[in-house]
Structure 1
Amino acid sequence: MSYTYSVAVPLSFAKTMERTRAALTGQGFGILSESDIRATFSAKLGTEAATELGDYVILGACNPGLARRALTAEPELGALLPCNVVVRRGKDDTVTMIDAIDPETMVQLSDSPQVRAVANDAAAKLRAALSFIVAEARPAS
């Protein structure tokens, strides 16, 4: 079972980060947290570990309307929020990867129809954001 939606784009890491933020904002998500895993590896494990990993940032994305609906239905779901979106590029890679959590994984932990509806809406918005990034990365013809 896959638990993420993943796309590869032929853009630099910095450009992909910029487009990912814009695409998430366009779908009503805000970024609540940003974890630079490469910087953490560098500080805690050394530059060799950071270089081996490459660029790797986890964005904690939250759509407040969807979060409200989910938390109203099941307050415990807060443990699964925000929706994580990873932007990563290995040191020798020629593309940058974007991985977004599949909100349908929440449904597997809940029997609530309200949670299912929120997960469906969140999934549609995350897929739309990823589609936007891919479309924007295509060369102009």
Structure 2
Amino acid sequence: MAETSTSSYGIGTTVEGPFAQAVQRVKEAFKAEQFGTLSEIDVTATLREKTGEAIEPYTILGMCNPRLASSAIQAEHEIGLLLPCNVLVHECGGRVHVSAQDPRVLMQVAQNEALRPIAEEARQRIERAIASLGSAQA
């Protein structure tokens, strides 16, 4: 059973199962909400390679809903500085945590009212993707 959590800038949950499987489930959950995976950063491997430091599994996924991104760029050309939507999958104490940035918080930075409905729709889609992780089989 997943636990849902939110922070002042993100929406998250804790999921069951192995880390690699959780990363795949996150990609599938976001794909169901029309987000594609633009990037996958294995922070664990990068830190190990660059600093020799060992940390628990920690991956950042760059997710994008093309229709929403296009609308946001049309409303605010420089919004690309705040895209794509980062989704963090990390293991801590044997538990896998998934958190996605809240697009409403990012849109506040731009201070453009035309972005509000885009951010609201993006948040709804992200909330559904995160919530679905609790209902999927581990």
TM-score between both structures, scaled by the size of structure 2: 0.90
Superposition pairs of residues 62-81 of structure 1, within 5 angstroms:
62-81=64-83
- The alpha carbon displacement at 1:136 in A equals 1.1
Residue matched to 1:102 = 102
Report sequence identity in percent.
36
- The alpha carbon displacement at 1:12 in A equals 1.1
- The alpha carbon displacement at 1:137 in A equals 4.5
- RMSD (CA atoms): 1.3
Amino acid at match of 2:109: L
Size of the aligned set, in residue pairs, is 132
TM-score between both structures, scaled by the size of structure 1: 0.88
Matched, 1:132 2:132: yes
C-alpha separation between the residues in 2 aligned to 1:32 and 1:56? 17
Please identify which structure carries the higher strand content: 2
Name which one, 1 or 2, has greater alpha-carbon Rg: 1
Amino acid at match of 1:117: P
Structure 1: give runs of 5+ residues left out of the alignment.
Answer: none
Structure 2: give runs of 5+ residues left out of the alignment.
Answer: 1-6
Please identify which structure carries the higher helix content: 1
C-alpha separation between the residues in 2 aligned to 1:110 and 1:45? 35
